Amino acid sequence: MRKIILFISISFIINTVNSQDSKLSKEKFDAYKKLYLTDKLSLDPETETEFWIAYKNYEDSLTKLMRNHRKNFRKDLRNSTPSDEEFNNFINNYMSYEKKKIDLRANLISELKEVMSLRKTYMLFRYEDDFRREMMEKLRESQNNKKN
């Protein structure tokens, strides 16, 4: 149980540190992601518009959900010695959060199935992972360059 709480705590600390980047870098990140996914998915102009409307709604909902979960998580940690019942509530809240994330992704998939091919809909998630890996590599490179 403590390992789960520790893991969740570390995840939120990392997210908090990452969310403190400047707005300009967030805009650059979003622009690069848009170019990357549009290129990888080979979206035509009509499909691209519909795709980005659905995808932006998904990202906005996911961000709102994550912020709300993070805020509730911080509230939960204020009590230094939670009871077993409180830990049970923490776990239930976490499970509810994960289910909502899955529901958001399911809604995105059903919207995208109407806009583009099933193959492209499926490949989106692979390309998202590839994009994250590429961004992490660039971040590591820039940090190494700053050290040198």
User: How far, in Å, CA of 18 to CA of 113, rounded?
Assistant: 32
What's the CA gap between 50 and 47, in Å, rounded?
Answer: 5
Which pLDDT tens digits describe the chain residue by residue (148 residues)? 555 654 555 555 565 555 554 445 888 888 899 999 999 999 998 999 999 999 999 999 999 999 999 888 777 667 667 788 888 888 999 999 999 999 999 999 999 999 999 999 999 999 999 999 998 998 888 888 877 6
55 and 34 Cβ atoms separated by less than 8 Å? no
- Verdict on whether the full-model pTM lies above 0.75: no
